[in-house]
Amino acid sequence: MQPSHKKPHNARTTPNATTTEYRGEAGQPRLAIVTGGTRGIGAALSARLAKLGYRVIAVYRTSGGAAEGTGVLPVQCDISDPQAVAAFADQVLDEHGTPAVLVNNAGINIDRPFLELTGADWQRVIDTNLSGPFHLIKAFAPAMLAAGAGNIVNIGATTGIRPRSNGVNYAASKAGLLQLTKCLATELAPAIRVNCLIPGMTETDELITRFRLDDPEHRAAVLAEIPQRRIGSPDDIADALEFLVSAHSSYLTGQKLIVDGGQFMW
Ligand SMILES: NC(=O)c1ccc[n+]([C@@H]2O[C@H](COP(=O)([O-])OP(=O)(O)OC[C@H]3O[C@@H](n4cnc5c(N)ncnc54)[C@H](OP(=O)(O)O)[C@@H]3O)[C@@H](O)[C@H]2O)c1
């Protein structure tokens, strides 16, 4: 006997990832939320989901203007503030309905040697990178479960697996996010899939500044460590997101997908 909520495996139909997959029951575009969705990698993720036919809400803290003319709806919310997230979620659920996709992309770095790192530096990064996704998933998972479907993608970092100096707060936050992903993939299954999409070095203003990639010597040294011999683009990450939200990955949950040109091979 098949459990009633599961299709027999031979009943699987070929997923049509460009039409019905992205549409609600009544043919309405489905809703997607991307935190940090107006800038950097998040802007590419928002744009890709919009191109796929989603209505996209791009959560921002300060850069709402960056969404102008992109077709996504910018909404201000500081994801590190649980009350702000609760108010945001109430507003979204009331005015827009249940999201089909939640991408927890917003993240910050405050990199310093451990002995110089303050408690406030630690807390701010944990509050944003780890507690932010926790508050958002808490707020939206009940509605997704009630709808019987949902897709959560947490944007991790290779530092969450492989340690580096001068960023213990960031590394711990991203390691925690990976474990949050796996635990929730278990608890929220089978209705909700939860995966961790891990960018390698990806060309954003933040990364160029932090790793001094506008210096040709620094750039050459970094490229020497990447088998694909290029820094990733935000669109490379959007390509992987497209796979993770499509029916082509319907049997994939609790996983980390590392998009880093082969720099680290775990
Ligand atoms: N770029 C890389 O090479 C790389 C590599 C590995 C992982 N990642 C991860 O990928 C994600 C995006 O990185 P990125 O390079 O695109 O970073 P970014 O350009 O610095 O953008 C960060 C985004 O997060 C938002 N944000 C920060 N704190 C927030 C808060 N409290 N509430 C709401 N939004 C907040 C920012 O919004 P505002 O501008 O409005 O403040 C901005 O949109 C991050 O999670 C990062 O850790 C990036």
Instruction: Calculate mean pLDDT across residues 1-25.
Output: 42
Instruction: Calculate mean pLDDT across residues 66-73.
Output: 94
Model pLDDT for residues 112-141, shown as the tens digit of each residue:
999 999 999 999 999 999 999 999 999 999
User: Which residue in 132, 73, 89 sits closest to 107, CA to CA?
Assistant: 132
Long-range pairs of 158-164 with CB within 8 A, sequence gap ≥ 24: 158/198, 158/200, 158/258, 158/260, 158/263, 158/264, 160/198, 161/198, 161/256, 161/264, 161/266, 162/264, 162/266
Model pLDDT for residues 136-158, shown as the tens digit of each residue:
999 999 999 999 999 999 999 99
Output the domain CATH number for residue 177: 3.40.50.720
Cα separation, 44 vs 38, in Å, equals 8
Q: Quote the number of domains for the chain.
A: 1
Looking at the chain, the whole-number percentage of residues with pLDDT higher than 70 is 90
Residue 20 inside a domain? The answer is no
Q: Is the pLDDT of residue 222 over 90?
A: yes
Q: Is the pLDDT of residue 14 over 90?
A: no
Residue 66 inside a domain? The answer is yes
Ligand 1 centroid distance, CA of 214 (Å): 20
Residue 87 inside a domain? The answer is yes
How many CB atoms within 10 Å of residue 107? 26
Query: Which residues lie across from 153 on neighbouring strands?
Result: 103, 195
Residue 100 inside a domain? The answer is yes
Ligand 1 centroid distance, CA of 6 (Å): 37
Is 251 assigned a catalytic role?
Answer: no
pLDDT at 266: 84
Q: 114 lies in which domain range?
A: 26-202+234-259
Q: Is the pLDDT of residue 8 over 50?
A: no
Residue 182 inside a domain? The answer is yes
Exposed/middle/buried for 24, CB within 10 Å: 0-12, 13-18, 19+? Answer: middle
The pTM of this model reads: 0.92
Amino acid identity for residue 26 in this structure: A
pLDDT at 27: 66
Q: Which of 34, 35, 39, 63 to mutate to test the pocket of ligand 1 (most atoms within 8 A of CB)?
A: 39
Helix (H) or strand (E) holding 240: helix 234-245
Question: In the structure, which protein residues have their CB atom closer than 6 angstroms to any atom of ligand 1?
Answer: 35-36, 38-42, 59-63, 78-80, 105-108, 128, 155, 157, 199, 201-202, 204, 206-207
